[in-house]
Amino acid sequence: MTDAGDVEADLRRQLLSTAQRLPIIGLSAAATGNVSVRCGDDLLITPSGIDYAELQAEDMVRLDATGRVSDGQRRPSSEWRVHRDLYRARPEFGAIVHSHSACATAIACQRRAIPPFHYMVIRAGGHDIRCAEYATFGTQQLSDNVATAMAGRSACLLANHGQIAAGPDLPGALRLAWEVEELARQFCYTLQLGEPVLLDDAELARVSAQFRDYGQQC
């Protein structure tokens, strides 16, 4: 039988590893962005304002459902409310990655959604990747805006801020964040040539059906 302490220790190591991959794959620089993972009824999240390269597993911050931090821990990321509220509302989410990746942020600063210019937008759960309305970072209003933009979705942009992606686990959330950034990059290139031709709802429905049987089936 696995001890709860062993489970938490393993999640801390996974969270650290995921956070340290963000700058390597071009999703964030230094201490920007944040990552979290469910831990029982609580969550573990990266601390505020520390370069990922300097982090240790013990620096990961455990929060309860109210956002309370145990004595002696680091200060959590300023966006902890976004993570807490998404976990509350979306039981299918096991991990969340928030980044300031360059192309997704550029589009978010235009306060644009990523439309269905490419069929891979379906990977975020719908026919577009919405842009959450702007609110000051670290506020409850930002969390509320993200929840609205994420309704029926697993990723969205944050106006004048960045992007957020969620998945069943840390690898899934990180992969989706990377896919959102790649789509944003392609969309930026496309806009240099003019407005893209968008896929219609019928085609997106076919794509969605195809994805249900995509990949290696057990």
Is the overall model pTM greater than 0.75, yes or no?
yes
- The secondary structure of the chain as a DSSP string is ---HHHHHHHHHHHHHHHHHHHHHTTS--TT-SEEEEEETTEEEEPBTT--GGG--GGGSEEE-TT--B-TTPPPBPTTHHHHHHHHHH-TT--EEEEE--HHHHHHHHTT--B-SSSGGGGGGTSSSB-EEPP--TTSHHHHHHHHHHTTT-SEEEETTTEEEEEESSHHHHHHHHHHHHHHHHHHHHHHHHSSPPPPPHHHHHHHHHHHHT-S---
Tell the CATH superfamily of the 4-212 domain.
Answer: Class II aldolase/adducin N-terminal domain (3.40.225.10)
Active site residues: 79
Give pLDDT, residue 216. Answer: 53
Given this model, what pLDDT does residue 101 score?
97
Give the pLDDT of the chain (218 residues) as one tens digit per residue: 567 789 999 999 999 999 999 999 999 887 789 999 999 999 999 999 899 999 999 999 999 988 888 777 899 999 999 999 999 999 999 999 999 999 999 999 999 999 999 999 999 999 999 999 999 999 999 999 999 999 999 999 999 999 999 999 999 999 999 999 999 999 999 999 999 999 999 999 999 998 887 655 55
